[in-house]
Structure 1
């Protein structure tokens, strides 16, 4: 039913009555009457809106009506069931709010950014893309833009020299009927206003569920551009990420997009598969870099000095003893070290590990602190196993078991042998029978790093574990990670040697993240633990839905799964929580986890989810 209203007037009255903390939201923390009467201007019929959830829905619908110059709102959207509303908002609004293009129509959204450090915005173009260089040079004056062509060889020294500029790295352009436009991509949200590495895989899961195939395909095409022109899938398309890659999910992205195509584009698959093989061989399998002597892989990000993207004070604990030894303040020592006016080999070594942590996506966690580049981590080797099995299946299924790349013929047998060999080595070095789990392996000390993490369960996602191993993990290890809101980043016991005065790391207990939930749900389903998967999906969706009901539709980056709260203050805070009136985008992989959860959750549990998150008086 449509209610005819004076939208601006009602909006002012509603905020004056219910937004008692003046944050332009209606949440459970406001102390208003929690009841508002609407009168239809046409029928004079009264409608009572009661409770935080419905009042915040009213606020959101009034804002949307105001922006559309409408004089009505629809009652069914005010009284929409909570989980259904979140899912609809993600599909209809949030993905659009997160979509960007690096072209004339979309540059403004990307250039006005908190990470831009110079008066004139800078955009970097690969040495190998003259077409893009010409395009952006033509736009330079319009956007007060400095266009820089990157050198042919990008060294850590060069990247260090541009650290203070914070420029954007270009992505793919397309020319359709003489009109040049950027290949669209999805950003995570909040202050993360770039195309990020592993975020993009999980975002793609949500995009495909919501029928946004073209956008999901464009995400893959942008990764192809990055590998072709930057030599790797970037941590993100920002200048200081040029020496870092990210967790490799590219083969999964390609398969899932191709399988969603109603009309299979085999030329596209051939191109993307070739580029994925190139990434596998040049980024991950070159000896002495990310491939170690035992045949397993590691994260190994190059770079010099402090990573420039961290917030002030992040490294105070690390720098303090060195500053005190030189009788300097921490800030003074940090400045001189950052400018390379002080040499410190111990710090240089620490920051190799620190950059590698950031390349891993788990920035930061005590699991990886100070040792990341020395670890064959479970999840990375599982993801590369998935590459190998994906390559085998795609070549067998779609290319008649013969795929040519770089003058070499690849067959299913070639990749199966690769994957089987990796599985043997994973079991040799990473499986721990006593712990009933897979553990990271320190190839320098030749010992396992015993630290129960959500990443320990990635082998179930890629089907590496035997059924016996999976049973032991689910029985003995997984319960230590399960809390009221789902899976925590690590067990509480894993942090037993961490002093309470030390900074909380956001990828550790008690925080929970969408990638871990998604991977573990699928892993459990792979091994016949459907009921447990349903339980974990429900816990996660209940936490998201309840917080959204209580906090004006908030869909954030991460949660405290022990407290079931989005009020997370570790390290970088919580993105996706800062908005006025209505969230425009949620947060990329949180959106995706919700949509996947809703797809997987049984109908009876969806009914229960909506029933239990509605205001108690209804």
Structure 2
């Protein structure tokens, strides 16, 4: 049995605190096995990050100490290496830097599909133990990493990666779900990724959709199996609900003027991100706002997965104006609606009618709030709301399709979303992330695999298979063209020109987990017919 009786009973007892509106305790960030590197190594880490002794600060965050952290810190305090060269030499003598994921190994000449199939073993990792002092979090089962600089499991990436795992990889799909369930039981939520420096935040809550892939013909059966973990994830997002009031959010919960309860992205810490320490310092220096406020907004944007985007910027251009925690987004709330529906369906299977009624009621209220408060009639899309002003922000982005993806949209509004998508977001290479080019990676001209899948399946859910098929064909064509030119699967693409993407804090990465998964899933939805490809909407596995 997957769940032994003792583990399930203990976890169920922990959930009693949730039922009584008691916030479950968080994993202690200062414990030696979960402390982020900036805490564990103190001045050494901060000095190395500020000096940019490695071009990518994530290299520092992921470095493995060669001896006990306390010994390294003591020696650093004694030696006080002041110059950049001395600092780099000290770091290199005391830490091991592992290489990025190598994904160029498949032989040349493979078809796109065969190349992706050959990539899965290269992207699969097993880390049942973490080396002492490293930032890596151990996981009980094998998992797939995105690739490149991303050598750990990531939360929302993994759902889209799993879409491309075939029947022969069913055990790997189950293993990944069990890794996420383990993290929920261990840390109270799914971290952004399996690193200590990600523990203070999560990412868009796709766990319920991952679980549904284990039983696509009867997802409620799978939700019932993982019901304790699904409830615990919901409790994480709703922690602080009893303390929230209009104009006074609590953690990730926002209560609006009409009494509606929705959610925002947030982070439990308000210091520079370990993986982007110098970058965050530079943003804070460029503004008169309190630095902790800026850091939390940067971190909250990282929780959203859209790090970074004009969505989070007051002026639509500069990171110094970031205000992520002021924003009530349609993507997050659409997913939480889906989670609530999934829990309700799982409770029906588990023969717990009170639970089913409670979560169904939550879902109904959230759906009503999404359609009343996050609908922008001017743009024809679901929009981001500034809870401080009570005004919609007028963003034309692919996030506006999430309520279709999860079934939260009203039928008439879904038709308007389809029209707006065709008019403003459809480009020659697929769906563009936003209509604004800021140089940030989650803006024009980039398109991303997860947003193609959200758009395609959301439009299919509401009956627009023609537009869904057009998006799918354009995306697969872009990925195929770039693969033919470069031999690689990339993290993101410039869908306006159908070429590799760019922008953001780091170089373009290849591998790439979610591109592989979504591309395979969309290829499976298309069949050659006559002079072109015929498209059939993928089967829905959500509520």
TM-score (norm 1): 0.63
Q: Once the 2 structures are TM-superposed, how far is the Cα of residue 364 of structure 1 from its aligned partner? A: 0.7
Could you give the per-residue CA deviations for residues 465-508 of structure 1, whole angstroms, max 9, x where no partner exists? 2221111121234421111100111013xx6xxxxxxx611001
How many angstroms does 1:198 deviate by? 0.4
Residue of structure 1 equivalent to 2:408: 464
Whichever of the two has the greater Rg, that structure is: 1
Match of 1:512 in 2: 447
Give the deviation of 1:365 after TM superposition.
0.7
Q: Call closer, same or farther: CA 1:378–1:608 in 2, change over 3 Å.
A: closer
Per the TM alignment, residue 190 of structure 1 is displaced from its structure 2 partner at its CA by 0.5
Counterpart residue number, 2:499: 565
The more displaced of 425-434 and 469-478 is 469-478
Q: Is the 8 A contact 2:280 2:295 kept in 1?
A: no
Q: 1:269 to 1:317 in 2, by over 3 A?
A: closer
CA contact (8 A) 2:203 2:304 kept: yes
Q: In structure 2, how many angstroms separate the alpha carbons of the residues matched to 1:233 and 1:544? A: 30
Return the match for 1:186 from 131, 144, 161: 144
The answer for the alignment partner of 2:526 in structure 1 is: 601
CA separation in 1, counterparts of 2:280 and 2:270?
17
CA distance in 2, matches of 1:260, 1:220: 17
SS of aligned partner of 1:563: coil
CA distance in 1, matches of 2:394, 2:310: 12
Structure 1: runs of 5+ lacking an equivalent: 1-59, 66-76, 108-122, 124-144, 148-165, 173-182, 323-344, 404-408, 496-502, 577-585, 610-618
Closer, same or farther in 2 for the Cα pair 1:486/1:402, shift >3 Å? same
Specify the alignment match of 2:27 in structure 1: none
The whole-number CA distance in structure 1 between the counterparts of 2:224 and 2:380 is: 40
Q: Matches of residues 45-56 of structure 1 in structure 2 within 5 Å?
A: none
Question: Retained in 1: the 8 A contact 2:270–2:293?
Answer: no
Q: CA deviation at 1:191?
A: 0.4
2:463 equivalent to 1:528: yes
Question: Could you tell me which residue of structure 2 aligns to residue 206 of structure 1?
Answer: 164
Cα deviations by residue, 1:259-314 (Å, 9 ceiling, x for unpaired): 379xx996x75452211111102333432211111300011102132112127556
Q: What is the correspondence of 1:386-425 to structure 2 with a 5 Å cutoff?
A: 386-396=338-348, 398-399=349-350, 401-402=351-352, 409-411=354-356, 413-425=357-369
User: In structure 1, what is the equivalent of residue 251 of structure 2?
Assistant: 289
Kept after mapping to 1: 8 A contact 2:371/2:410: no
Alpha-carbon distance in structure 1 between the residues aligned to 2:286 and 2:330: 32
Deviation at 1:602, TM superposition (A): 3.4
**Equivalent residue, structure 2, for 1:549:** 484
Alpha-carbon separation, structure 1, partners of 2:530 and 2:202: 39
Cα distance in 2 for residues equivalent to 1:301 and 1:453: 23
Look up the SS of the partner of 2:522 in the other structure: helix
Separation in 2, partners of 1:201, 1:310:
25
Q: State whether structure 2 residue 206 is matched by structure 1 residue 249.
A: yes
Cα deviation code 1:121-158 (max 9, x no counterpart): xx4xxxxxxxxxxxxxxxxxxxxx426xxxxxxxxxxx
1:275 pairs with one of 229, 234, 238:
229
Number of residue-to-residue matches in the alignment: 412
Separation of aligned partners in 2, 1:485 and 1:289: 38
Q: Map 1:580-599 onto structure 2 (within 5 A).
A: 586-599=511-524
Which residue does 2:244 correspond to in 1? none
- Mapped to 1, the partners of 2:440 and 2:275 lie a distance apart of 16
Question: For residues 265 and 290 of structure 1, do their structure 2 counterparts lie closer, same or farther at Cα, with a shift above 3 Å needed?
Answer: closer
What is the TM-score when the length of structure 2 is the normalising length? 0.71
Q: How does 1:321-332 map to 2 (within 5 A)?
A: none
| 2:113 pairs with one of 87, 102, 110 | 87
Query: 1:362-381 to 2 correspondence within 5 Å?
Result: 362-369=306-313, 370-381=322-333
Distance 1:475 1:575, change over 3 A: same
Q: Please state how far the C-alpha of 1:519 moved relative to its aligned partner.
A: 0.4
Distance 2:116 2:173 in 1: 15
Deviation string 1:206-243 (CA, Å, 9 cap, x unpaired) is: 12x45411111111111111111111100011111111
Distance 2:167 2:113 in 1: 9
Structure 2: stretches of 5+ with no match in the other structure:
1-102, 242-249, 314-321, 535-543
Q: 1:605 to 1:274 in 2, by over 3 A?
A: farther
Instruction: Tell me, in whole angstroms, the C-alpha distance in 2 between the residues paired with 1:416 and 1:545.
Output: 42
Distance 1:574 1:428, change over 3 A: same
The 8 Å contact of residues 311 and 572 in structure 1, kept in 2 or not, is answered as no
TM-aligned CA distance change 1:289 to 1:318, over 3 Å = closer
Q: Tell me, what secondary structure is at the counterpart of 2:439?
A: coil
2:428–2:497 Cα contact (<8 Å) kept? yes
Q: Does 1:171 align with 2:126?
A: no
Q: Which residue of 1 aligns with 2:294?
A: 350
Asked if the contact 1:504–1:571 (Cα under 8 Å) also holds between the matched residues in 2, the reply is: no
| Cα distance in structure 2, aligned partners of 1:605 and 1:189 | 37
Query: Counterparts of 2:385 and 2:464 in 1: how far apart (Å)?
Result: 28
Root-mean-square deviation over aligned CA pairs: 2.6
Tell me the distance in 1 between the aligned counterparts of 2:361 and 2:139: 35
Partner Cα distance (2:264, 2:297) in 1: 11
How far the C-alpha of 1:352 sits from its partner, in A, is 1.1
